[in-house]
Amino acid sequence: MTVNESPRVPSGLPDDPRRLLAVASGLLDGVVEHFRSNVGAPGKIDKGGHDFATQVDLELERRLGDSLLERTGIPVHGEEFGGPRLDTGTVWVLDPVDGTYNYSVGLPMAGVLLSLIHEGVPVLGLTWLPLVGQRIAATVDGPVICNGAPLPPLGPRGLADSVIALGALNIEGRGRYPGRYRIAALGELSRRVSRMRMHGSTGADLAFTAAGVLDAAVGFGDHPWDNAAGVALVRAAGGVVTDLAGRAWDINSPSVVVGAPGAQQEMLQVFLDLGDPEDFLPEPGEVFP
């Protein structure tokens, strides 16, 4: 799919996408109470890099994974237990608790993310945010449905009038998008936007962009379970989705930039104007002030 191509539900799916969306919605509704009642669950598995999973992550992935396979016959790839390849065939992609740190300390920006991927392309997306009472879902051809009601498509926005969300910032971070690169982008964006927010949940940022609550958002991570549901939602809303290099997003993309037409392109240009992220890596042995 090119950046400006209107999304379509592909042929070759094993079932009607509207039925699959209804089945998935019902299953996510079925875990809402368990999700709410276990807020504050401590970390159980240390993933390194200050990342962890709670017992709720494991329980929900097992429960939803088994139910999705039983009800739809489609295998599941989850954050915690993995699964089949995502670039071929039809696969559910599940993040049982997005915003795990938020969830573990009681911040409400946490939820369940589920998407259906067909030949590497998101076909439908669901983002359930039980702690704020938001259920956002769509097949990729739209419309986006929030708490049972269809939402209008996204209209053009200028960055100066926009509210945007940013992914995690850590000036000492290295990796593909070093901390200094992210901080430099933060500084440039702060001069050009109306408001900036940081929620600690990529799934929430993308879903709120699709719903028109935010006008654009950027995520610096490459995990499909974080990004695919929101990509489907933003495309369903008529928004624009790329990575930080301006390429159309796919299942192997290293990052995600989403937004309403106009706002997304202007925000992306801020990152492009910064140049190569590797230029922001500290010198070997350099000590941060």
175-219 pLDDT, tens digit per residue, is 899 999 999 999 999 999 999 999 999 999 999 999 999 999 999
Strand partners, 76: 92
Q: What is the pLDDT of residues 129-154, one digit of tens each?
A: 999 999 999 999 999 999 999 999 99
Across the beta sheet with 216-219, what order do the strands follow? 195-197, 163-166, 216-219, 256-259, 240-242
3-state class (DSSP) for residue 257: strand
Q: What is the pLDDT of residue 189?
A: 97
Could you give the percent of the chain with pLDDT greater than 90? 79
User: Do 229 and 93 form a contact (C-beta atoms < 8 A)?
Assistant: yes
What DSSP state is assigned to residue 287?
P
What's the CA gap between 156 and 176, in Å, rounded?
Answer: 30
* Global pTM exceeds 0.85: yes
Which pLDDT belongs to residue 286?
64
Q: Which of 147, 123, 119 is nearest to 135 (CA)?
A: 147
| pLDDT at site 287 | 60
Which residues on neighbouring strands pair with residue 117, listed in sequence order?
91, 122
Cis check: omega of the bond before 143, within 30 degrees of 0:
yes
State the average pLDDT for the chain: 92
CB 128 within 8 A of CB 111: yes
Tell me the three state secondary structure of residue 110: coil
Estimate to the nearest angstrom the gap between the alpha carbon of 141 and the chain centroid. Answer: 18
Helix (H, G, I), strand (E, B) or coil at 91: strand
Q: What is the mean pLDDT of residues 97-112?
A: 93
pLDDT bracket for residue 48 (50, 70, 90): low
* pLDDT at residue 20, as a whole number: 97
Check pLDDT > 80 for residue 170. Answer: yes
Reply yes or no on whether the pLDDT at 45 is more than 70.
no
